[in-house]
């Protein structure tokens, strides 16, 4: 009589368990790879945008009919919702040399008669800042960058014990490219004005934005760091 060989039930279960384990390993590895690509892509994009905004401020990237700009910046107040806004801060003056004697060594809004106590970003908004507009400071958003498709990542501003909410606005001064940090209400953080003199605030060290995979599959987070004054951008070493 001819004999037939077959797997026993126990052997079949063992094979299925092994296949299931291999499948889980593949899924975890795939997710880790996707998260790694996402963090790299997003962090490089944001870093390039920050550098690009600083370069645009230094080159004074404005339209031919625009007023003088205090600076160009990025509003990170909505970053937890995976978006930020690139904006221009329009002055009330047409050209730099109208108040040239007042500009030296001052922060952008003080240079054009801003409040030396509060030193906050303008709360006025405009769709643009051509010269025929009303003669007041104004902010207008030129571009909104959305990362809604990266729902596998958490975006978080890293604060400190002194500044729990962290830096929410970064403004680069026109021509000089100097970085100014502001809190969520738009008030200046990294400079103080004492007796009419501008001085660096040592308690505000850096801007940090942390990108972290939501699934937590062992991939380290990435921090995008911007230094005060110079605005140099680099990637922090993971905690």
Q: Residue 78: which CATH number?
A: 3.55.40.10
In a domain, 17, yes or no: yes
Give 168's pLDDT tier (boundaries 50, 70, 90): very high
State how far the Cα of 96 lies from the Cα of 93, in Å rounded to an integer: 7
Closest CA to 71 of 111, 113, 19: 111
Query: For the ranges 48-52, 198-202, 215-219, which has the lowest average pLDDT?
Result: 215-219
In a domain, 209, yes or no: yes
In a domain, 170, yes or no: yes
In a domain, 66, yes or no: yes
Given this model, what pLDDT does residue 161 score? 74
In a domain, 94, yes or no: yes
Tell me what the mean pLDDT of segment 61-73 comes to.
84
Count of domains in the chain? Answer: 1
Given this model, what pLDDT does residue 48 score? 95
Question: Residue 22 in 3-state DSSP?
Answer: helix
Tokens 């400079």 belong to which residue?
191
State how far the Cα of 191 lies from the Cα of 138, in Å rounded to an integer: 21
Q: Highest mean pLDDT range out of 104-118, 182-196, 199-213? A: 199-213
In a domain, 2, yes or no: no
* Comparison of pLDDT for 171 and 165, the residue scoring more: 171
In a domain, 77, yes or no: yes
Question: Domain range spanning residue 201?
Answer: 9-236
In a domain, 4, yes or no: no
């Amino acid at each position: 009589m001819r004999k037939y060989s077959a797997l026993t039930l126990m052997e079949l279960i063992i094979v299925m368990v092994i296949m299931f384990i291999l499948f889980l390993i593949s899924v975890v590895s795939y997710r880790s790879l996707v998260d790694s690509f996402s963090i790299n892509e997003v962090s490089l994009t944001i870093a390039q945008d920050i550098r690009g905004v600083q370069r645009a401020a230094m080159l004074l990237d404005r339209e031919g009919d625009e007023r003088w700009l205090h600076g160009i910046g990025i509003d990170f107040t909505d970053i937890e919702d995976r978006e930020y806004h690139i904006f221009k801060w329009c002055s009330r003056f047409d050209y730099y040399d109208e108040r040239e004697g007042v500009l030296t060594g001052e922060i952008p809004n003080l240079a054009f008669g801003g409040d030396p106590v509060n030193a906050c970003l303008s709360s006025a908004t405009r769709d643009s800042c051509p010269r025929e507009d009303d003669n007041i400071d104004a902010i207008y958003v030129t571009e909104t960058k959305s990362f809604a498709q990266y729902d596998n990542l958490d975006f978080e501003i890293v604060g400190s014990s002194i500044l729990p909410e962290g830096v929410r606005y970064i403004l680069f001064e026109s021509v000089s490219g100097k970085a100014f940090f502001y809190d969520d209400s738009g008030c200046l953080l990294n400079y103080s004005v004492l007796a009419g003199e501008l001085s660096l605030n040592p308690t505000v060290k850096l801007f940090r934005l942390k990108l972290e995979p939501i699934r937590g599959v062992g991939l380290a987070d990435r921090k995008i760091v911007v230094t005060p004054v110079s605005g140099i951008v680099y990637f922090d070493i993971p905690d």
